[in-house]
Amino acid sequence: MSKSFGVLLVSHVERVASGLKQLLDQVASDVTIKTAGGTEDGDVGTSFDLISETLESFEEDNVLCFYDLGSAKMNLDMATEMTEKNVEILNTAFIEGAYTTASLLQADVPLDNIKEQISKLVIKE
């Protein structure tokens, strides 16, 4: 299952996203994990274009997405409307949700079981 799903990390700061990817790579080396952090010019913020490009770059048809702040989710929502990929935005604590999901994908845990495991990390909107 680790190759059935990719993981996208969207953060307002490129180094936050890449640092989290570095951590996840330690527990989920067989899972494709990509980042869309910051803006194209390296500023703090998020970019619809960067998120869209990164989503399209996945070989996997299924992408699980995590974000750090509400405006990142807004750009992520828009990008998901423009892709043919099966994208699911998981509204969890950014680090804990992504870490738990990636490690369970690595262990080939079914998606329903992963969602059950991360349900305690869901952020109420």
pLDDT tens, 83-95? Answer: 999 999 999 999 9
- Single-letter amino acid code for the residue at 96: E
Question: Which range marks the domain in which residue 64 is found?
Answer: 5-121
Cβ 17 vs Cβ 10: under 8 Å = yes
Q: How many folded domains does the chain comprise?
A: 1
**How does pLDDT run across 2-56, given as a tens digit for each residue?**
579 999 999 999 999 999 999 999 999 999 999 999 998 889 999 999 999 999 9
CATH label of the domain that carries residue 56: 3.40.50.510
- Distance, CA of 87 to chain centre: 10
Catalytic residues: 12
Residue 118: its pLDDT value, please?
Answer: 95
Give residue for tokens 């990636």: 102
User: How far, in Å, CA of 106 to CA of 117, rounded?
Assistant: 14
Regarding pTM above 0.85, the answer is yes
